[in-house]
């Protein structure tokens, strides 16, 4: 039985910020004032050891128990309870921070109508109901019976009534609807799709051009449960697997941040666009359902058999639909009817912010954040992360209160609100602070040396580094076999606005399960009413040792970024990533680029220059007897590195995506995203105008790499 699943911690983005104050660094001698020693001081290894020793599993466990006591969806009474919890902890006289406060935003949210719940039914020609989809998940503990458990729904799905013959559209990708339309006329149909392959809202956006009038979405047991389906002895409450009535809720909008105030913080007086001008939300009703109901619907479908790659875990053939059901089915000649009563409202949502002020550079910041709101009880998503953050602040806060330590730079903690509705709290924060980002450096890239010190959960002789390298690794031409780091190329959590909009280097950390032992795309209780303290403590992390390992790792990173004289950032690692991207582009695209008289040579040259600049920067980064203004210059170069990759004009169709290396891509290739998407479009269409866009994006990325290299060069 798998007992470890994602500990979505540090989540929402651990975003880190630093720089060096202008001033004189003193030379160590007996006559120097004490503050001169302070400005030249480096990280204290003994303090890190003390921190690691004090991180406690029992405190983390009790944090989680308190945070998951009631459902706390954004702006509900349960959410306000967690706001008060965060304020109470961060204002504690013995273990709190220097200051803590709430920041309010007026945000556009979508909820089901509690007095008129959404309904999905199968009806015959006389509109008689033959089958009703379960409206609430089955209760196995008192947690699911809580009256504040929200009905499963698709946030930002429009209200409306749709009725039509059912068809099966696999994952709702554009290619799925195109393939289905070759067999069936989709006009007036209802499509049932499974999670995965395309974004939640995209399943409806992709369907509408084909005349589909409504969409259902479910989680197939093949994708989440390794095929297991029975709650008698296979799924929760007997294991970590999703029970048959489990439903993944979610936000079905494409863009992050408040939808009515793009690029502006959602304050009361802020200009708002008309709701009808919102883009990237479903144009037709969409509703999530459990796989117990999906099984009944899909196994009754008529028509031709879907291809093998569309088949799932149900013990029947997944057919396209006639459209509609088999003549032999009890639902013959019946329609699926959707009655969706969602409503949109503007409500106050709070971020809770806290700070430990720096002693030497209080105007430079390390920002550590995790979102606070959940769909239901949210034990793993997000409260595992918040329980860890509270333990980190307890240990660090007590050190500060006792006068043992104060960081060199200020540390800001953010408990983001309304993340589940599209990363709203963190995005609004960046829209407020974006005008002041010259003071910010948010950096972390090479974390390997920070995880060597932390023991893997349940292991006294194996470090997190070794366990990481064992289960997920790659071969570096410089370092040999090393742990594999993922890339923040999408908008999966609160790092998005920091990375893609502001160009601030970020980390999104989790301790996850062994993916070689399961096909689960995410931990199975994700966004369901079963993501509870009971679930987390029994099946995810008994003893909370994985939580402890994450807290130790995150705190170690936090202290080093706040206290290190020179930023622990290896530019050559970045150069290695760019080289990998370039090599992929050469392999995949060079031949056709040359056929269209487009040269990739400039990109090759820029990448080589960046590599040389990175090596030079690393040589300047060694040693500790460096003049103070040179320390500032080096740190400023590192601060500006990711910002050099921002191009506000490169991706006009991608809201708030400006980073030419990490921007999301639909091409699915491990290379420069703008180039990959443009090439896929040009290859498909063959149009000269699309090949011009390929040339444009190749120029954009080449010049961005060249510009970034110049930020690492010596002064003119």
Bridge partners (DSSP) listed for residue 474: 482
The tokens for 347 are 């409500």
Tell me, yes or no, if 419 is annotated catalytic.
yes
Q: Which of 29, 41, 28, 636 is nearest to 359 (CA)?
A: 41
Q: Which of 137, 248, 419, 431 is catalytic?
A: 419
Which residue, 14, 18, 87, is CA-closest to 353? 87
Q: What does the DSSP 8-state code read for residue 642?
A: G
Q: Which two tokens stand for residue 103?
A: 């920041």
For residue 657, say if its preceding peptide bond is cis, omega within 30 degrees of 0.
Answer: no
Q: Which residue has the tokens 């939640």?
A: 200
Per-residue DSSP letters for 344-379?
EEEEEEEEEEEEE--SSEEEEEEEEEEE---SSS-I
Phi, psi of 474, rounded to the nearest 5 degrees: -150, 165
Helical (H) or strand (E) element with 632 = helix 628-641
Pick the closest to residue 557 from 505, 513, 514 (CA basis). Answer: 505
| Burial tier of 683 (Cβ tally within 10 Å: 0-12, 13-18, 19+) | middle
Q: How many residues does the chain have?
A: 716
Closest listed residue to residue 67, CA positions, set 429, 547, 545: 547
Q: If DSSP codes are grouped into helix, strand and coil, which group holds residue 604?
A: helix
Structural tokens at position 492? 């999966």
The angle that helices 571-595 and 628-641 make with each other, rounded to 10 degrees, is 40
- Mark out the alpha helices in 41-194 (DSSP H runs): 45-54, 57-67, 77-90, 142-145, 174-181
Neighbours of 475 (CB within 10 A): 9
CA atoms within 13 A of residue 15's CA, in its CB half-sphere: 33
Cis omega (within 30 of 0) for bond into 406? no
How far is 663 from 676, CA to CA, in rounded Å? Answer: 11
- Within the chain, what is the greatest distance between any pair of CA atoms? 96
Angle between helices 57-67 and 77-90 in degrees, nearest 10 = 150
- Compute how many other C-beta atoms are within 10 angstroms of the C-beta atom of residue 685: 11
What are the DSSP calls for 453-512, one per residue?
TSBPTT-SS-BHHHHHHHHSEEEETTTEEEEPPP---S-SSTHHIIIIIT---EE--EE-
**Tokens at 607, concatenated:** 């990448």
Phi, psi of 250 (to 5 degrees): 170, 170
H-assigned helices in 543-672: 545-563, 571-595, 601-620, 628-641
User: How many whole angstroms separate alpha carbon 606 and alpha carbon 386?
Assistant: 42
Catalytic residues: 419
């Amino acid at each position: 039985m798998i007992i470890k699943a994602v500990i979505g911690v540090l989540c929402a983005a651990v975003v880190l910020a630093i720089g060096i104050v202008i001033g004189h660094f003193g030379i160590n001698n007996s006559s120097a004032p004490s503050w001169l020693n302070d400005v030249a001081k480096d990280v204290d290894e003994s303090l890190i050891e003390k921190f690691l020793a004090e991180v406690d599993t029992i405190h983390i466990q009790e944090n989680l128990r308190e945070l998951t006591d009631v459902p706390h969806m954004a702006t509900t009474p349960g959410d306000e309870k967690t706001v008060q919890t965060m304020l109470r902890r961060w204002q504690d006289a013995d273990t709190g921070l220097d200051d803590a406060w709430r920041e309010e935003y007026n945000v556009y949210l979508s909820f089901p109508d509690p007095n008129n719940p959404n309904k999905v039914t199968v009806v015959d020609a006389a509109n008689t109901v033959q089958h009703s989809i379960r409206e609430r998940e089955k209760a196995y503990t008192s947690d699911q019976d809580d009256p504040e458990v929200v009905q499963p729904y698709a946030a930002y799905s429009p209200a409306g009534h749709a009725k039509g013959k059912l068809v099966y559209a696999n994952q709702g990708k554009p290619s799925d609807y195109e393939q289905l339309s070759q067999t069936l006329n989709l006009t007036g149909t209802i499509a049932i799709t499974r999670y995965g392959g395309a974004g939640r809202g995209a399943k409806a956006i992709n369907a509408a051009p084909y005349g589909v009038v409504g969409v259902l979405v479910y989680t197939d047991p093949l994708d989440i449960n390794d095929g297991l389906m029975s709650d008698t002895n296979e799924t929760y409450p007997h294991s970590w697997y999703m029970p048959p009535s489990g439903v993944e809720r979610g936000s079905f909008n494409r863009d992050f941040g408040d939808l009515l105030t793009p690029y502006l913080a959602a304050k009361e007086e802020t200009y708002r666009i008309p709701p009808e001008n919102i883009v990237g939300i479903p144009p037709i009703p969409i509703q999530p359902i459990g796989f117990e109901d999906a099984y009944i619907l899909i196994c009754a479908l008529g028509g031709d058999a879907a291809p093998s790659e569309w088949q799932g875990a149900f013990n029947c053939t997944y057919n396209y639909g006639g459209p509609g059901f088999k003549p032999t089915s009890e639902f013959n000649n019946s329609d699926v009817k959707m009655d969706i009563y969602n409503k949109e409202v503007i409500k106050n949502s709070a971020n809770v912010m806290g700070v430990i002020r720096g002693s030497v550079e209080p105007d430079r910041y390390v920002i550590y954040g995790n979102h606070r709101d959940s769909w239901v009880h949210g034990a793993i998503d997000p409260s595992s992360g918040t329980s860890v953050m509270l333990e980190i602040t307890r240990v660090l806060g007590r050190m500060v209160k006792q006068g043992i330590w104060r960081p060199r730079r200020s540390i800001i903690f953010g408990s983001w609100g309304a993340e589940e509705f599209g990363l709203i709290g963190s995005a609004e924060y960046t829209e407020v602070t974006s005008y002041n980002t010259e003071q910010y450096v948010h950096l972390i890239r090479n974390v390997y040396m920070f995880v060597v010190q932390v023991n893997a959960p349940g292991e006294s002789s194996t470090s997190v580094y070794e366990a990481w390298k064992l289960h997920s690794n790659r071969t570096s031409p410089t370092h040999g076999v090393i742990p594999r780091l993922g890339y923040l190329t999408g908008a999966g959590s609160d790092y998005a606005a920091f990375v893609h909009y502001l160009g601030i280097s970020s980390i999104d950390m989790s301790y996850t399960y062994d993916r070689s032992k399961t096909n689960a795309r995410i931990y199975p209780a994700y966004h369901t009413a079963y993501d509870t303290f009971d679930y987390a403590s029994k099946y995810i992390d008994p003893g909370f040792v994985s939580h402890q390992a994450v807290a130790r790792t995150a705190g170690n990173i936090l202290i080093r970024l706040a206290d290190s004289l020179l930023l622990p950032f290896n530019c050559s690692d970045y150069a290695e990533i760019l080289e990998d991207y370039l090599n992929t582009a050469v392999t995949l695209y060079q031949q056709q680029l040359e056929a269209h008289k487009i040269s990739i040579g400039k990109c090759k040259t820029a990448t080589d220059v960046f590599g040389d600049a990175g090596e030079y920067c690393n040589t300047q980064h060694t040693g500790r007897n460096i003049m103070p203004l040179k320390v500032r210059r080096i740190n400023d170069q590192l601060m500006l590195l990711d910002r050099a990759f921002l191009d506000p004009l490169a991706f006009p169709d991608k809201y708030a995506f400006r980073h030419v290396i990490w921007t999301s891509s639909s091409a699915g290739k491990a290379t420069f995203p703008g180039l990959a998407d443009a090439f896929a479009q040009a290859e498909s269409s063959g149009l000269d105008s699309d090949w011009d866009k390929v040339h444009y994006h190749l120029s954009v990325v080449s010049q961005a790499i060249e510009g970034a290299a110049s930020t690492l060069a010596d002064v003119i």
